[in-house]
Amino acid sequence: MSGTNPWLSGPQHPAAASVSERALVPVSDPRASTSVGRVPAVISARDLVKTYPSKGKPDVVAVDGLSFEVEAGESFGLLGPNGAGKSTTMKMVGAVSARTAGELSILGLDPDRHGPEIRSRLGVVPQQDTLDGELNVRENLYIYGRYFGLPAKVCREKAEELLAFAQLEDKATSKVEQLSGGMKRRLTIARGLINDPRILLLDEPTTGLDPQARHILWDRLFRLKEQGTTLVLTTHYMDEAEQLCDRLIVVDKGRIMAEGTPSSLIREHSSREVLEVRFGSDRNAEAAERIAGIGDRVELLPDRVLVYAGDGEGALEAVTARGLQPLTSLVRRSSLEDVFLRLTGRSLIE
């Protein structure tokens, strides 16, 4: 099979190559074969659907016809609010949940028929940590590698390498329950790398972490990306999507609302700057009416009024020139949050 499938060439146990070796010598990087034409996407979904039965009610349509492709080495994001269908999509891509309809190909394989082979080549960081609380940090890595059928020696070496990668060397013999949330997340990511996957699926890798822990994780993920690992991540943090994703889809209610690079999405769906003004919760609506016409667009939120404009300071001058005195004002660059608001009429963080 490896003769026809560019993704399945390489060593039987790719974990035998260390993280640093991979950085220097990409293992049969399929992108190198451009001379023989365009290499197929590592993940390809077409009209992907997932429904869940619901007792006495119509089925829940969690994923409603998603089509997207992820190329090797890319960092691809699914951005959307709670219930958008992100985890459901990740589970189908991770070959742990069968699709209801549509086409799905992972590394050139159909997850319905090649689940074990796909799973052995992916790294998975689920939304909920599934670390073994009975085992210590090092054992969690080792046992997971053994579960993949890797030789004991490889698992031992790989565990040490990943302890360093996750900056958890001094916690190697601690029980998982003694770790902080950020450390657990780093360990889960390290565990997902034990089989040296070509694709790492990360479902909300930094939810619930403090800013410092998030930045440490972002740094680890950047390094993986530099080494050629394909990252697929879900998030409802727009700054995370802007930082980590080369390209993303904005998902709402199981459907794609927009697709592109973070900057192209912002350019396409928002203005350069945004003026945020607050007048007090009982006065915002009236103020928004009086602001109408300033900038490209005015959006009323429960706690503030947003004025979309190329020049935010200029918009603020125009607001005060109309005799309005906001309690607070802030000019910022447009973000993916604004894109989401524009596309759905709702805020991303509810």
Ligand X SMILES: Nc1ncnc2c1ncn2[C@@H]1O[C@H](COP(=O)(O)OP(=O)(O)OP(=O)(O)O)[C@@H](O)[C@H]1O
Q: What is the C-alpha separation between 124 and 233, in angstroms, rounded?
A: 10
Q: Which of residues 154-183 bind Mg ion (CB under 5 A)?
A: none
- Stretch of 26-34, 66-74, 79-87, 294-302 contacting ligand X, by CB under 6 A: 79-87
**Nearest distance from residue 98's CB to ligand X, in Å?**
12
Q: What is the C-alpha separation between 124 and 191, in angstroms, rounded?
A: 8
> Any contact of residue 89 with Mg ion (CB under 5 A)?
no
> Any contact of residue 304 with ligand X (CB under 6 A)?
no
Q: What is the largest CA-CA distance in the chain?
A: 74
Of 46, 345, 35, 87, the closest CA to residue 207 belongs to: 87
**Residue type (1 letter), 135:** L
- Stretch of 33-41, 121-129, 217-225, 291-299 contacting Mg ion, by CB under 5 A: 121-129
**Nearest distance from residue 179's CB to Mg ion, in Å?**
22
Q: Which of residues 124-143 bind Mg ion (CB under 5 A)?
A: 127
> Any contact of residue 87 with Mg ion (CB under 5 A)?
yes
Nearer to ligand X, 97 or 270 (CB): 97
Say which residues have a Cβ less than 8 Å from residue 184's Cβ, sequence separation at least 6: 129, 131, 176
Provide the total of helices (H) and of strands (E) in the chain, helices listed first: 12, 13
Cα dist from 36 to 166, 221, 272, whole Å = 38, 30, 41
> Structure tokens of 119?
């799973």
> Structure tokens of 16?
């035998």
Of 30, 75, 47, the closest CA to residue 199 belongs to: 75
Nearer to Mg ion, 231 or 318 (CB): 231
Nearer to Mg ion, 87 or 229 (CB): 87
Among 14, 83, 126, 228, binds ligand X (CB under 6 A): 83
Of 43, 94, 98, the closest CA to residue 73 belongs to: 43
> Any contact of residue 88 with ligand X (CB under 6 A)?
yes
> Any contact of residue 206 with Mg ion (CB under 5 A)?
no
**Nearest distance from residue 18's CB to ligand X, in Å?**
33
Residue 284 binding result from ligand X, Mg ion, none, given CB thresholds of 5 to 8 Å by partner type: none
The site for Mg ion (CB under 5 A) is made up of 86-87, 127
The site for ligand X (CB under 6 A) is made up of 52, 60, 62, 80, 82-88, 127, 236
